[in-house]
Amino acid sequence: MHNFVRPTPVTDRLYEYVLGVSLREPEALRALREETGRLPEGEWQIAPEQGPFLAMLVQLMGARNCLEVGTFTGYSAAWVASVLPPGGKLICCEVSEAYAAVARRHWAAAGVAGRIDLRVGPALDTLRTLAPGTFDYAFVDADKANYDAYYERCLELVRPGGLVAVDNTLWDGKVADPAATDADTAAIRALNAKLHGDTRVSLSVLPFADGLTLARKN
């Protein structure tokens, strides 16, 4: 057992406090998040505090060419697109036309639709059409079975110094539970182990929301 200083436990009360003092959520994005939360699959959406964090990463990098694998209803994409500089573009991969339709409607309301190139279809097919080394930032939040394939392709697509961010890398704690042997947990656990030893990147794993891994291409 490592003898580390533990993070402050995030109770419901503390979580609400954090959102209250940190989340500057535009009305259009709040409407998108709340509509998505009412869907049966609403838990697929990133946590609200992740949106401004991803946006800040993009701003700090000065990123212009961004990529998202697994867009769902578009909340994370809206945050990233909202901070892109003039001429910046976000390519989004989403397999479901139904979710894409929700995203388009809310992106239009948020005024960011013109910065987003949404491509509906299997993400790996879309990723194969993109030029290596041309992206500053990529965010992976899609089907877990293909996480390794998405990571490998995104690592090819980002430039040196570019960032690949991978969501759900704690997977509700199941990655640390030896009794959890389902395919999704196994896929994430394997990618986490691979990333730890991957000398192609600098690595930070944030115990934040459902786990967010940042891999900066060397």
**Which residues in the chain show pLDDT less than 70?**
1-2
The pairing of beta strand 116-120 with beta strand 89-94: parallel
Res 1: pLDDT: 58
Q: Is residue 99 classed exposed, middle or buried when 0-12, 13-18 and 19+ CB atoms within 10 A define those classes?
A: buried
Res 6: pLDDT: 82
Res 3: pLDDT: 72
Q: CA-to-CA distance for 175 and 26, rounded, in angstroms?
A: 34
DSSP bridge pairs for 69: 93, 140
**Distance from the first to the final alpha carbon of the chain:** 31
Res 2: pLDDT: 67
DSSP bridge pairs for 65: 89
**What pTM does this model have?**
0.96
Domains and CATH numbers, the chain: 12-217 (3.40.50.150)
Res 18: pLDDT: 95
